[in-house]
Amino acid sequence: MSFPDLSSVNATTDVSELLVYVNTLTGGAAMPTVLAAFFIIAFLGSAFLNARFRGVFRFDFCFASAGFVTLGFATIMSLKNGLLNPIYLMISIVVAILGVAILLLSSND
């Protein structure tokens, strides 16, 4: 299997052309990995800030906030053709809805 050459990419127009090229090389696995890493970073950042300012770690709040931030990032990524498969946008929508459901059903201690 031959991969497209880097010289065939017009990187002078937009940086996203390089990201599409990397996603093509990895068989579509690069951008979902970036999306998952973004979710983990947003979750941990929210958890540490929540623990620092409130003194309590709330999983439901951290999960919901990370889900919404990841949904926004996935929406931006899906605007460029070839960057993110639409199924991953749908997965991020489901994660955001699940986060809101967990947040609403949790007790307000």
**2/33: higher pLDDT:** 33
pLDDT value, residue 3: 66
> Which tokens hold the place of 18?
């390089």
pTM of the model: 0.85
Task: Find the mean pLDDT for residues 75-98.
Answer: 92
Alpha carbon of 17 to those of 4, 65, 89, 99: distances in Å?
13, 30, 20, 32
Task: Read off the pLDDT of residues 10-66 as tens digits, 9 standing for 90 and up.
Answer: 767 788 888 888 888 888 899 999 999 999 999 999 999 998 998 888 899 999 999
Domain boundaries, the chain: 35-109
Residue 9: other Cβ atoms inside 10 A: 15
Per-residue pLDDT at 1 exceeds 70: no
Q: Return the residue matching tokens 């309590």.
A: 56
Virtual torsion, Cα 71, 95, 99, 60, nearest 10 deg? -100
